[in-house]
């Protein structure tokens, strides 16, 4: 649980912040823009947050977050229960709210631009063009739709059937993970079950991921990539695709060409940076379009698919496919990912 003093300490350490008492409520603002406001009884914290992403935030943790009142729905605003927040979460919420209200150069100077140097967002025209190319590959969505149907309402690795379905899907995308013969041990199935027990994955949409969410996903990715499968490990491409299959609205996957050309590596630190890239690109696409995620992917020509996948398809078309990466038979998929 955090207190008003915790909020005050964090907020007043941020440049240009002023504290005011307005109608018996403690508020923190930049000029005339309020970015934090405590309820009169100090049990709730209102904070600046992108309004196109707040429904997903509230849905992901309804015991912690709630929508503002009807009069404030037009603003970039959401509420959190103080009793449900820990110190790390509070710091992230306060800092992100502040960043929405100060010039970018002020935020960069104070925070050291933790996401600085990320590849620039492609823009809607380039996303639309790449989606058209990708969608033209024969059978491109067949294996994904089969996985979704076989694991409805969602992939859950506590079940052996779902682990087998994921194995089939990974191999359909060129991962070449050996199937055990009858009576043989199943290292992938056993390893996936143990890994699933070790990690709790956030389900927040890509655009709404927090730094803490990204750190958790990167740690889970590193553990999964190192999963032993006899003489080999699961590896970075299969690990990224498995995470996407588990959290399709959350994780933008990669393949070897994408990882190397964008980030120069495929370890957990590089995957952390990859997710930060995806988050920045998703936010830019949503802001440029003014649409929610489902409407945006439909407008881009890929209805029913998550934005994380559309962004991955853009990277495949512009980096992997264009670089001449060897591809399997068209009926499987455009390339090993």
CB 254 within 8 A of CB 315: yes
Confidence of residue 335 (pLDDT cuts 50, 70, 90): very low
Task: Give the pair of three-digit tokens for residue 187.
Answer: 């290292």
pLDDT above 50 for 326: no
For the segment 127-156, what is each residue's pLDDT rounded down to a tens digit? 999 999 999 999 899 999 999 999 999 999
Confidence of residue 237 (pLDDT cuts 50, 70, 90): very high
- pTM assigned to the model: 0.71
CB 38 within 8 A of CB 25: yes
pLDDT above 60 for 324: no
Measured CA to CA in angstroms, residue 131 lies from 3, 44, 257 at distances of 47, 42, 19
pLDDT above 90 for 337: no
pLDDT above 60 for 325: no
Query: What is the rounded CA–CA span in Å between residue 275 and residue 119?
Result: 12
Q: What is the arithmetic mean of pLDDT over 250-270? A: 90
pLDDT of residue 117: 67
CB 182 within 8 A of CB 212: no
Backbone angle region of 213, left / alpha / beta, with phi > 0 → left and psi within -120 to 50 → alpha: alpha
């Amino acid at each position: 649980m955090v207190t008003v003093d915790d909020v005050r300490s964090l907020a007043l350490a941020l440049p240009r912040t002023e504290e005011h008492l307005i109608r018996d409520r403690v508020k923190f603002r930049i000029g005339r823009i309020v970015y934090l406001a405590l309820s009169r009884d100090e049990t709730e914290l209102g904070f600046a947050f992108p309004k196109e992403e707040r429904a997903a935030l509230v849905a992901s943790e309804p015991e912690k977050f709630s929508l503002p009142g009807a009069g404030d729905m037009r603003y970039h605003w959401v509420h959190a229960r103080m009793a449900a927040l820990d110190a790390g979460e509070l710091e992230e919420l306060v800092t992100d709210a502040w960043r929405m209200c100060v010039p970018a150069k002020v935020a960069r100077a104070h925070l050291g631009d933790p996401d600085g140097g990320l590849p620039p967002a492609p823009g809607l025209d380039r996303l639309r063009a790449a989606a058209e190319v990708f969608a033209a590959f024969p059978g491109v969505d067949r294996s994904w739709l089969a996985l979704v149907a076989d694991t409805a309402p969602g992939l859950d690795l506590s079940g052996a059937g779902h682990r087998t379905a994921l194995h089939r899907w990974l191999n359909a995308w060129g991962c070449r993970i050996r199937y055990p013969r009858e009576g043989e041990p199943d290292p992938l199935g056993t390893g996936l079950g143990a890994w699933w027990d070790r990690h709790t994955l956030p389900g927040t949409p890509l655009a709404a991921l927090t730094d803490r969410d990204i750190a958790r996903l990167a740690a889970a990715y590193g553990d999964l990539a190192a999963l032993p499968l006899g003489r080999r490990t699961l590896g970075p491409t299969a690990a990224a695709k498995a995470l996407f299959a588990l959290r399709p609205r959350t994780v933008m996957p990669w393949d070897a060409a994408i990882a190397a050309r964008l980030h120069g590596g495929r370890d957990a630190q590089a995957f952390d940076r990859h997710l930060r890239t995806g988050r920045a690109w998703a936010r830019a696409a949503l802001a440029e379009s003014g649409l929610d995620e489902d409407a945006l992917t439909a407008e881009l020509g890929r209805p029913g698919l998550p934005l994380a996948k559309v962004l991955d398809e853009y990277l495949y078309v512009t980096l992997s496919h264009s670089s001449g990466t060897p591809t399997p038979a068209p009926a499987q998929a455009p390339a090993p990912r």
